[in-house]
Chain A
Amino acid sequence: MKIIPGNIFGFWLFVVASAVIVYVMNLSEKGKLKVTLRPIAGLDALEEAVGRATEMGRPVHFSPGLGDIIGTSAPDTLAALQILSYVTDLSAKYDARLLVTIRMPNVFPLAQELVRTAYSMANKPQSYKEDTVRYVSSDQDAYAAGVIGLMHQEKVASSILAGLYMGEALLIAESGASLGTMQVAITASITQIPFFVAACDYTIIGEELYAAGAYVSGNKARLGAIAGQDCIKLAVMAIIVLGTIVTSLGSNFVQDLLTK
Protein backbone atom coordinates (compact mmCIF):
# COMPACT_ATOMS: atom_id res chain seq x y z
CA MET A 1 0.00 0.00 0.00
CA LYS A 2 1.50 3.36 -1.04
CA ILE A 3 0.45 6.93 -1.69
CA ILE A 4 -0.58 7.59 -5.31
CA PRO A 5 2.09 9.72 -7.07
CA GLY A 6 0.87 13.31 -7.37
CA ASN A 7 -0.92 13.08 -4.01
CA ILE A 8 2.15 12.80 -1.75
CA PHE A 9 2.35 16.50 -0.85
CA GLY A 10 -1.44 16.72 -0.52
CA PHE A 11 -1.53 13.71 1.80
CA TRP A 12 1.15 15.05 4.13
CA LEU A 13 -0.39 18.52 4.05
CA PHE A 14 -3.66 16.89 5.09
CA VAL A 15 -1.91 15.10 7.99
CA VAL A 16 -0.08 18.24 9.17
CA ALA A 17 -3.15 20.49 8.75
CA SER A 18 -5.32 17.99 10.67
CA ALA A 19 -2.73 17.81 13.47
CA VAL A 20 -2.53 21.60 13.73
CA ILE A 21 -6.31 22.05 13.78
CA VAL A 22 -6.77 19.29 16.40
CA TYR A 23 -3.94 20.78 18.53
CA VAL A 24 -5.40 24.32 18.45
CA MET A 25 -8.87 22.88 19.06
CA ASN A 26 -7.60 21.13 22.21
CA LEU A 27 -5.88 24.29 23.42
CA SER A 28 -9.13 26.20 22.99
CA GLU A 29 -11.25 23.49 24.66
CA LYS A 30 -8.95 23.41 27.71
CA GLY A 31 -9.11 27.20 27.99
CA LYS A 32 -5.42 27.71 27.20
CA LEU A 33 -6.30 29.72 24.10
CA LYS A 34 -9.12 32.24 23.99
CA VAL A 35 -10.64 32.41 20.52
CA THR A 36 -12.98 35.24 19.59
CA LEU A 37 -14.52 35.63 16.16
CA ARG A 38 -15.13 39.03 14.59
CA PRO A 39 -18.82 39.99 14.48
CA ILE A 40 -20.61 38.72 11.36
CA ALA A 41 -23.62 40.95 10.76
CA GLY A 42 -25.48 38.36 8.68
CA LEU A 43 -25.32 35.70 11.39
CA ASP A 44 -26.46 38.20 14.01
CA ALA A 45 -29.36 39.00 11.67
CA LEU A 46 -30.69 35.43 11.86
CA GLU A 47 -32.35 36.23 15.18
CA GLU A 48 -33.83 39.38 13.65
CA ALA A 49 -35.16 37.30 10.73
CA VAL A 50 -36.91 34.83 13.03
CA GLY A 51 -38.17 37.63 15.32
CA ARG A 52 -39.61 39.42 12.29
CA ALA A 53 -41.54 36.29 11.31
CA THR A 54 -43.01 36.06 14.83
CA GLU A 55 -44.06 39.70 14.80
CA MET A 56 -45.70 39.35 11.39
CA GLY A 57 -47.31 35.99 12.23
CA ARG A 58 -45.85 34.45 9.10
CA PRO A 59 -43.40 31.57 8.60
CA VAL A 60 -39.62 31.53 8.31
CA HIS A 61 -38.28 29.67 5.29
CA PHE A 62 -34.97 27.80 5.43
CA SER A 63 -33.22 26.08 2.55
CA PRO A 64 -30.03 24.04 3.10
CA GLY A 65 -29.12 24.53 -0.56
CA LEU A 66 -28.79 22.19 -3.48
CA GLY A 67 -25.91 20.12 -2.15
CA ASP A 68 -25.94 16.54 -0.94
CA ILE A 69 -24.38 14.97 2.14
CA ILE A 70 -22.14 12.86 -0.08
CA GLY A 71 -19.58 14.16 -2.55
CA THR A 72 -17.85 17.52 -2.74
CA SER A 73 -20.92 19.50 -1.68
CA ALA A 74 -21.16 17.66 1.67
CA PRO A 75 -19.26 20.26 3.78
CA ASP A 76 -21.56 23.04 2.50
CA THR A 77 -24.67 21.01 3.32
CA LEU A 78 -23.38 19.98 6.76
CA ALA A 79 -22.55 23.62 7.54
CA ALA A 80 -26.05 24.61 6.36
CA LEU A 81 -27.60 21.95 8.62
CA GLN A 82 -25.71 23.35 11.60
CA ILE A 83 -27.26 26.73 10.83
CA LEU A 84 -30.66 25.02 10.50
CA SER A 85 -30.20 23.62 13.99
CA TYR A 86 -29.65 27.15 15.31
CA VAL A 87 -32.58 28.57 13.32
CA THR A 88 -34.85 25.83 14.71
CA ASP A 89 -33.76 26.76 18.24
CA LEU A 90 -34.62 30.39 17.49
CA SER A 91 -37.96 29.41 15.95
CA ALA A 92 -38.82 27.39 19.04
CA LYS A 93 -37.74 30.26 21.29
CA TYR A 94 -39.79 32.89 19.43
CA ASP A 95 -42.69 30.59 18.50
CA ALA A 96 -42.16 31.21 14.79
CA ARG A 97 -43.41 28.71 12.23
CA LEU A 98 -40.50 27.13 10.37
CA LEU A 99 -40.65 25.76 6.83
CA VAL A 100 -37.66 23.84 5.53
CA THR A 101 -37.45 22.96 1.84
CA ILE A 102 -35.18 20.12 0.75
CA ARG A 103 -33.76 19.30 -2.65
CA MET A 104 -31.67 16.17 -2.14
CA PRO A 105 -33.46 13.06 -0.78
CA ASN A 106 -30.36 12.13 1.27
CA VAL A 107 -30.59 15.42 3.15
CA PHE A 108 -34.30 15.02 3.90
CA PRO A 109 -34.22 12.45 6.77
CA LEU A 110 -31.25 14.24 8.32
CA ALA A 111 -33.00 17.63 8.25
CA GLN A 112 -36.25 16.10 9.50
CA GLU A 113 -34.54 14.44 12.46
CA LEU A 114 -32.48 17.54 13.19
CA VAL A 115 -35.52 19.83 13.33
CA ARG A 116 -37.55 17.31 15.37
CA THR A 117 -34.66 16.91 17.85
CA ALA A 118 -34.10 20.65 18.12
CA TYR A 119 -37.79 21.26 18.89
CA SER A 120 -37.76 18.46 21.48
CA MET A 121 -34.63 19.86 23.13
CA ALA A 122 -36.35 23.25 23.31
CA ASN A 123 -39.29 21.51 25.10
CA LYS A 124 -41.62 22.30 22.20
CA PRO A 125 -42.07 18.97 20.39
CA GLN A 126 -45.63 20.00 19.48
CA SER A 127 -44.22 22.77 17.25
CA TYR A 128 -42.84 20.16 14.88
CA LYS A 129 -45.38 19.27 12.19
CA GLU A 130 -45.17 16.77 9.34
CA ASP A 131 -44.97 19.63 6.84
CA THR A 132 -42.24 21.55 8.69
CA VAL A 133 -39.57 19.83 6.59
CA ARG A 134 -40.70 19.38 3.01
CA TYR A 135 -39.06 17.48 0.22
CA VAL A 136 -39.59 19.48 -2.98
CA SER A 137 -37.70 17.84 -5.85
CA SER A 138 -34.21 16.63 -6.65
CA ASP A 139 -34.44 18.46 -9.96
CA GLN A 140 -32.78 21.87 -9.73
CA ASP A 141 -35.43 23.72 -11.76
CA ALA A 142 -38.37 22.04 -10.06
CA TYR A 143 -36.83 22.78 -6.67
CA ALA A 144 -36.51 26.48 -7.50
CA ALA A 145 -40.11 26.56 -8.78
CA GLY A 146 -41.33 24.74 -5.66
CA VAL A 147 -39.53 27.12 -3.29
CA ILE A 148 -40.81 30.20 -5.14
CA GLY A 149 -44.34 28.77 -5.06
CA LEU A 150 -44.09 28.08 -1.34
CA MET A 151 -42.81 31.59 -0.64
CA HIS A 152 -45.82 33.05 -2.44
CA GLN A 153 -48.41 30.67 -0.96
CA GLU A 154 -47.20 30.90 2.63
CA LYS A 155 -46.22 34.59 2.38
CA VAL A 156 -43.00 33.93 4.27
CA ALA A 157 -41.67 36.79 6.38
CA SER A 158 -38.03 35.73 6.26
CA SER A 159 -35.99 33.41 4.13
CA ILE A 160 -32.63 31.92 5.03
CA LEU A 161 -30.72 30.40 2.12
CA ALA A 162 -27.66 28.49 3.31
CA GLY A 163 -25.30 26.07 1.59
CA LEU A 164 -24.49 25.34 -2.03
CA TYR A 165 -26.38 27.18 -4.76
CA MET A 166 -26.26 27.19 -8.53
CA GLY A 167 -28.07 29.06 -11.30
CA GLU A 168 -31.40 29.16 -9.50
CA ALA A 169 -29.99 31.34 -6.69
CA LEU A 170 -31.20 34.56 -8.31
CA LEU A 171 -34.60 33.04 -9.21
CA ILE A 172 -35.27 32.25 -5.55
CA ALA A 173 -33.66 35.35 -4.04
CA GLU A 174 -35.24 37.84 -6.44
CA SER A 175 -38.67 36.26 -5.96
CA GLY A 176 -38.18 36.69 -2.23
CA ALA A 177 -37.10 40.31 -2.70
CA SER A 178 -40.20 41.05 -4.80
CA LEU A 179 -42.36 39.70 -1.93
CA GLY A 180 -40.62 41.96 0.60
CA THR A 181 -39.15 38.97 2.42
CA MET A 182 -36.17 39.57 4.69
CA GLN A 183 -33.47 37.38 3.20
CA VAL A 184 -30.19 36.10 4.59
CA ALA A 185 -27.95 34.16 2.20
CA ILE A 186 -25.02 32.12 3.47
CA THR A 187 -22.98 30.53 0.71
CA ALA A 188 -19.50 29.64 -0.49
CA SER A 189 -20.67 29.29 -4.12
CA ILE A 190 -18.49 31.95 -5.71
CA THR A 191 -20.51 32.36 -8.91
CA GLN A 192 -23.74 32.95 -6.99
CA ILE A 193 -22.42 35.44 -4.41
CA PRO A 194 -22.99 38.52 -6.66
CA PHE A 195 -26.64 37.54 -7.17
CA PHE A 196 -27.22 37.06 -3.47
CA VAL A 197 -25.49 40.36 -2.68
CA ALA A 198 -27.81 42.10 -5.14
CA ALA A 199 -31.04 40.44 -3.99
CA CYS A 200 -30.64 39.67 -0.26
CA ASP A 201 -30.57 41.87 2.83
CA TYR A 202 -27.53 40.06 4.28
CA THR A 203 -25.04 37.86 2.48
CA ILE A 204 -22.50 35.75 4.31
CA ILE A 205 -19.77 34.61 1.96
CA GLY A 206 -17.02 32.04 1.57
CA GLU A 207 -15.52 30.50 4.68
CA GLU A 208 -18.03 32.31 6.90
CA LEU A 209 -20.50 29.55 5.94
CA TYR A 210 -18.27 26.94 7.58
CA ALA A 211 -17.57 29.14 10.60
CA ALA A 212 -21.27 29.82 11.18
CA GLY A 213 -21.83 26.71 13.33
CA ALA A 214 -18.97 27.68 15.64
CA TYR A 215 -20.04 31.33 15.68
CA VAL A 216 -23.64 30.72 16.73
CA SER A 217 -22.86 27.90 19.19
CA GLY A 218 -19.87 29.56 20.87
CA ASN A 219 -18.46 26.04 21.43
CA LYS A 220 -14.79 26.31 22.44
CA ALA A 221 -13.59 23.30 20.42
CA ARG A 222 -15.31 24.53 17.28
CA LEU A 223 -13.91 28.03 17.76
CA GLY A 224 -10.48 26.45 18.19
CA ALA A 225 -10.90 24.70 14.84
CA ILE A 226 -11.48 28.10 13.20
CA ALA A 227 -8.26 29.39 14.79
CA GLY A 228 -6.40 26.26 13.61
CA GLN A 229 -7.79 26.85 10.14
CA ASP A 230 -6.34 30.38 10.23
CA CYS A 231 -2.90 28.92 11.10
CA ILE A 232 -3.10 26.75 7.96
CA LYS A 233 -4.22 29.78 5.98
CA LEU A 234 -1.08 31.65 7.10
CA ALA A 235 1.05 28.67 6.01
CA VAL A 236 -0.67 28.57 2.61
CA MET A 237 -0.10 32.31 2.20
CA ALA A 238 3.58 31.76 3.01
CA ILE A 239 3.76 29.01 0.35
CA ILE A 240 2.14 31.37 -2.20
CA VAL A 241 4.66 34.16 -1.45
CA LEU A 242 7.58 31.70 -1.43
CA GLY A 243 6.37 30.16 -4.69
CA THR A 244 6.09 33.57 -6.34
CA ILE A 245 9.64 34.54 -5.29
CA VAL A 246 11.26 31.19 -6.12
CA THR A 247 9.49 30.90 -9.51
CA SER A 248 10.46 34.50 -10.35
CA LEU A 249 14.08 33.52 -9.69
CA GLY A 250 13.73 30.70 -12.26
CA SER A 251 13.35 27.71 -9.94
CA ASN A 252 10.54 25.13 -10.15
CA PHE A 253 11.13 23.90 -6.60
CA VAL A 254 7.71 24.88 -5.18
CA GLN A 255 5.79 23.63 -8.26
CA ASP A 256 7.64 20.30 -8.13
CA LEU A 257 6.95 20.01 -4.41
CA LEU A 258 3.22 20.71 -4.78
CA THR A 259 2.78 18.22 -7.64
CA LYS A 260 4.88 15.49 -6.00
Chain B
Amino acid sequence: MRKELPLAITFVVALIALLSGVVQGPIPGLGVSIGDIYGNYIGKWMTVVSAFALCLASVNLILVHGRAVARKRSQDWIYSAILLGTLVVYALFRTYVELNPADEAARANYSLIYDYILSPLMSGQWACLAFYVGSASYRAFRARNLEATVLLVSAIVVMLGAAPIGSLLWDQFPAIQQWLLNVPSMTGQRALLLGAALGSFSTSLRTLLGIERGHLGGM
Protein backbone atom coordinates (compact mmCIF):
# COMPACT_ATOMS: atom_id res chain seq x y z
CA MET B 1 0.00 0.00 0.00
CA ARG B 2 2.98 2.27 0.73
CA LYS B 3 3.92 2.20 -2.94
CA GLU B 4 0.59 1.35 -4.56
CA LEU B 5 -1.15 4.54 -3.40
CA PRO B 6 1.52 6.93 -4.78
CA LEU B 7 1.53 4.92 -8.02
CA ALA B 8 -2.28 5.16 -8.34
CA ILE B 9 -2.18 8.93 -7.69
CA THR B 10 0.64 9.28 -10.24
CA PHE B 11 -1.40 7.41 -12.86
CA VAL B 12 -4.57 9.47 -12.43
CA VAL B 13 -2.84 12.86 -12.16
CA ALA B 14 -0.44 12.17 -15.04
CA LEU B 15 -3.30 11.06 -17.27
CA ILE B 16 -5.29 14.23 -16.52
CA ALA B 17 -2.20 16.42 -17.06
CA LEU B 18 -1.50 14.65 -20.34
CA LEU B 19 -5.03 14.87 -21.71
CA SER B 20 -5.50 18.50 -20.57
CA GLY B 21 -3.06 19.58 -23.25
CA VAL B 22 -4.54 17.43 -26.01
CA VAL B 23 -8.34 17.47 -25.70
CA GLN B 24 -10.85 20.28 -25.26
CA GLY B 25 -14.53 20.59 -24.44
CA PRO B 26 -16.63 19.27 -21.51
CA ILE B 27 -16.47 15.63 -20.48
CA PRO B 28 -19.86 14.02 -21.33
CA GLY B 29 -21.97 13.74 -18.18
CA LEU B 30 -19.69 15.94 -16.03
CA GLY B 31 -19.96 19.28 -17.79
CA VAL B 32 -16.35 20.28 -17.05
CA SER B 33 -13.32 19.95 -19.30
CA ILE B 34 -10.15 18.07 -18.40
CA GLY B 35 -8.31 21.40 -18.66
CA ASP B 36 -10.62 22.82 -15.96
CA ILE B 37 -9.96 19.86 -13.65
CA TYR B 38 -6.23 20.30 -14.14
CA GLY B 39 -6.29 24.08 -13.66
CA ASN B 40 -8.77 24.25 -10.79
CA TYR B 41 -7.73 21.25 -8.73
CA ILE B 42 -4.43 19.65 -9.68
CA GLY B 43 -2.62 22.95 -10.30
CA LYS B 44 -3.62 24.19 -6.84
CA TRP B 45 -2.65 20.92 -5.18
CA MET B 46 0.74 21.13 -6.86
CA THR B 47 1.25 24.56 -5.27
CA VAL B 48 0.27 23.22 -1.83
CA VAL B 49 2.55 20.19 -2.15
CA SER B 50 5.42 22.40 -3.37
CA ALA B 51 4.96 24.68 -0.34
CA PHE B 52 5.21 21.70 2.02
CA ALA B 53 8.28 20.42 0.13
CA LEU B 54 9.91 23.84 0.51
CA CYS B 55 9.24 23.74 4.27
CA LEU B 56 10.87 20.31 4.55
CA ALA B 57 13.83 21.45 2.47
CA SER B 58 14.28 24.60 4.56
CA VAL B 59 14.22 22.58 7.79
CA ASN B 60 16.91 20.30 6.32
CA LEU B 61 19.01 23.32 5.34
CA ILE B 62 18.75 24.81 8.85
CA LEU B 63 19.50 21.46 10.54
CA VAL B 64 22.55 20.64 8.41
CA HIS B 65 24.10 24.10 8.76
CA GLY B 66 22.94 24.55 12.37
CA ARG B 67 24.82 21.35 13.31
CA ALA B 68 27.91 22.55 11.44
CA VAL B 69 27.89 25.78 13.46
CA ALA B 70 27.21 23.99 16.75
CA ARG B 71 29.95 21.38 16.29
CA LYS B 72 32.57 23.67 14.70
CA ARG B 73 34.48 20.57 13.54
CA SER B 74 36.13 22.29 10.61
CA GLN B 75 37.03 25.89 9.90
CA ASP B 76 34.26 25.98 7.28
CA TRP B 77 31.58 26.39 9.99
CA ILE B 78 31.77 30.14 9.44
CA TYR B 79 30.20 29.73 5.98
CA SER B 80 27.29 27.84 7.53
CA ALA B 81 26.88 30.68 10.05
CA ILE B 82 26.86 33.25 7.23
CA LEU B 83 24.26 31.18 5.35
CA LEU B 84 21.97 30.92 8.38
CA GLY B 85 22.37 34.61 9.17
CA THR B 86 21.59 35.58 5.58
CA LEU B 87 18.58 33.25 5.56
CA VAL B 88 17.10 34.86 8.69
CA VAL B 89 17.82 38.48 7.65
CA TYR B 90 16.50 37.95 4.11
CA ALA B 91 13.35 36.17 5.32
CA LEU B 92 12.58 38.81 7.96
CA PHE B 93 13.28 41.69 5.58
CA ARG B 94 11.08 40.19 2.85
CA THR B 95 8.27 39.52 5.35
CA TYR B 96 8.44 43.16 6.51
CA VAL B 97 8.34 44.42 2.90
CA GLU B 98 5.33 42.22 2.10
CA LEU B 99 3.45 43.30 5.26
CA ASN B 100 4.22 47.00 4.73
CA PRO B 101 3.72 47.68 1.02
CA ALA B 102 3.50 51.44 1.66
CA ASP B 103 7.05 51.58 3.08
CA GLU B 104 8.92 52.56 -0.12
CA ALA B 105 12.22 53.03 1.73
CA ALA B 106 12.18 49.42 2.97
CA ARG B 107 11.37 48.16 -0.53
CA ALA B 108 14.23 50.22 -1.99
CA ASN B 109 16.66 48.92 0.65
CA TYR B 110 15.51 45.37 -0.01
CA SER B 111 16.37 45.86 -3.69
CA LEU B 112 19.83 47.05 -2.67
CA ILE B 113 20.58 43.60 -1.23
CA TYR B 114 19.89 42.07 -4.62
CA ASP B 115 21.57 44.77 -6.71
CA TYR B 116 24.72 45.24 -4.68
CA ILE B 117 25.31 41.88 -3.01
CA LEU B 118 23.63 39.02 -4.83
CA SER B 119 24.02 40.29 -8.38
CA PRO B 120 27.80 41.01 -8.17
CA LEU B 121 28.34 37.61 -6.49
CA MET B 122 26.51 35.87 -9.34
CA SER B 123 28.42 37.86 -11.96
CA GLY B 124 31.70 36.93 -10.30
CA GLN B 125 30.76 33.28 -10.25
CA TRP B 126 29.80 33.23 -13.92
CA ALA B 127 32.97 35.13 -14.84
CA CYS B 128 34.90 32.05 -13.67
CA LEU B 129 33.33 30.20 -16.60
CA ALA B 130 35.67 31.97 -19.03
CA PHE B 131 38.67 30.38 -17.31
CA TYR B 132 36.93 27.04 -16.88
CA VAL B 133 36.11 26.92 -20.62
CA GLY B 134 39.81 27.52 -21.30
CA SER B 135 41.07 24.78 -18.98
CA ALA B 136 38.39 22.27 -20.05
CA SER B 137 39.06 23.01 -23.73
CA TYR B 138 42.78 22.49 -23.22
CA ARG B 139 42.15 18.96 -21.96
CA ALA B 140 39.49 18.16 -24.57
CA PHE B 141 41.37 19.55 -27.57
CA ARG B 142 44.64 17.72 -27.04
CA ALA B 143 45.14 15.77 -30.30
CA ARG B 144 45.47 12.31 -28.74
CA ASN B 145 43.60 10.43 -31.46
CA LEU B 146 41.74 11.00 -34.72
CA GLU B 147 38.46 12.10 -33.07
CA ALA B 148 40.22 14.59 -30.80
CA THR B 149 42.17 15.95 -33.80
CA VAL B 150 38.95 16.46 -35.79
CA LEU B 151 37.48 18.22 -32.72
CA LEU B 152 40.56 20.42 -32.40
CA VAL B 153 40.55 21.45 -36.10
CA SER B 154 36.76 22.08 -36.03
CA ALA B 155 37.06 24.19 -32.88
CA ILE B 156 39.85 26.31 -34.38
CA VAL B 157 37.85 26.88 -37.57
CA VAL B 158 34.67 27.77 -35.60
CA MET B 159 36.63 30.19 -33.39
CA LEU B 160 38.30 31.81 -36.41
CA GLY B 161 34.91 32.07 -38.14
CA ALA B 162 33.39 33.82 -35.13
CA ALA B 163 36.34 36.13 -34.35
CA PRO B 164 36.90 39.25 -36.50
CA ILE B 165 40.49 38.23 -37.19
CA GLY B 166 39.27 35.04 -38.94
CA SER B 167 37.62 36.82 -41.85
CA LEU B 168 40.66 39.07 -42.19
CA LEU B 169 42.92 36.02 -42.53
CA TRP B 170 40.63 34.23 -45.00
CA ASP B 171 37.16 35.37 -45.99
CA GLN B 172 35.88 31.78 -46.18
CA PHE B 173 36.25 31.11 -42.44
CA PRO B 174 32.76 32.47 -41.51
CA ALA B 175 31.12 30.37 -44.26
CA ILE B 176 32.94 27.20 -43.12
CA GLN B 177 32.01 28.00 -39.50
CA GLN B 178 28.33 28.28 -40.44
CA TRP B 179 28.49 25.02 -42.40
CA LEU B 180 30.08 23.19 -39.44
CA LEU B 181 27.40 24.50 -37.09
CA ASN B 182 24.43 24.03 -39.42
CA VAL B 183 25.26 20.67 -40.97
CA PRO B 184 27.46 18.22 -38.96
CA SER B 185 26.78 19.77 -35.54
CA MET B 186 23.04 20.21 -36.12
CA THR B 187 22.73 16.65 -37.49
CA GLY B 188 24.30 15.22 -34.35
CA GLN B 189 22.20 17.43 -32.10
CA ARG B 190 18.96 16.43 -33.82
CA ALA B 191 19.83 12.74 -33.58
CA LEU B 192 20.50 13.18 -29.85
CA LEU B 193 17.31 15.19 -29.44
CA LEU B 194 15.24 12.53 -31.19
CA GLY B 195 16.67 9.76 -29.00
CA ALA B 196 16.26 11.87 -25.86
CA ALA B 197 12.64 12.74 -26.73
CA LEU B 198 11.76 9.07 -27.22
CA GLY B 199 13.64 8.13 -24.05
CA SER B 200 11.80 10.84 -22.15
CA PHE B 201 8.48 9.59 -23.51
CA SER B 202 9.28 5.99 -22.60
CA THR B 203 10.36 6.97 -19.07
CA SER B 204 7.17 8.98 -18.58
CA LEU B 205 5.05 6.07 -19.83
CA ARG B 206 6.82 3.59 -17.53
CA THR B 207 6.33 5.95 -14.58
CA LEU B 208 2.67 6.54 -15.49
CA LEU B 209 2.02 2.79 -15.68
CA GLY B 210 3.88 2.16 -12.40
CA ILE B 211 6.53 -0.03 -14.03
CA GLU B 212 9.31 2.40 -13.18
CA ARG B 213 9.45 2.56 -9.39
CA GLY B 214 13.10 3.39 -8.86
CA HIS B 215 12.21 6.93 -7.76
CA LEU B 216 10.19 5.47 -4.88
CA GLY B 217 13.21 3.66 -3.50
CA GLY B 218 14.74 0.28 -4.23
CA MET B 219 15.58 -0.83 -7.75
Contacts and interface: CB of A to CB of B under 8 A. Distances in A.
B196 A225 contact: no
Interface of A: 1-4, 7, 10-11, 14, 17-18, 21-22, 25, 69-70, 74-76, 78-79, 81-82, 85-86, 89, 102, 105-106, 108-110, 112-118, 121, 130-131, 133-136, 138, 141, 144-145, 149, 153, 167, 170-171, 173-175, 177-178, 188, 190, 193-195, 197-199, 205-211, 213, 216-217, 219, 221-222, 225-226, 228-229, 232-233, 236
Contacts of B79: 149
Interface residues of B, number: 64
A209 to B, nearest CB: 7
B64 A86 contact: no
A1 B27 contact: yes
B141 to A, nearest CB: 8
B200 interface: yes
B67 A131 contact: yes
Contacts, number: 213
B217 A116 contact: yes
A194 B207 CA distance: 29
Which A-B residue pairs are the 10 nearest by beta carbons? Answer: A117-B217, A82-B214, A210-B199, A207-B199, A135-B57, A198-B140, A207-B195, A198-B136, A81-B215, A174-B132
14 contacts: A1-B26, A75-B201, A78-B203, A86-B219, A105-B54, A106-B53, A108-B53, A135-B61, A167-B129, A171-B125, A198-B136, A206-B195, A217-B219, A232-B198
B217 A113 contact: yes
B60 interface: yes
Interface string B17-48: 00001111111100001100000000000100
Contact of A229 (B34, B64, B202, B212): B202
Interface stretch (B94-102, B169-177, B186-194): B186-194
B25 A233 contact: no
A69 B125 CA distance: 27
A236 B205 CA distance: 18
A190 B189 contact: yes
A205 B200 contact: no
The listed residue with most B CB atoms (<10 A of its CB), out of A7, A76, A106, is A106
Nearest to A69: B215
Contacts of B57: 102, 105, 108-109, 135
Contact of A130 (B64, B125, B189): B64
B196 A206 contact: yes
B217 A226 contact: no
B193 A190 contact: yes
A173 B70 CA distance: 31
B189 A2 contact: no
A86 B192 CA distance: 25
A109 B53 contact: yes
Given A205-B192, A222-B206, A114 B200 contact: no
Nearest to A224: B211
A82 B56 CA distance: 22
Contacts of A135: 57-58, 60-61
B30 to A, nearest CB: 10
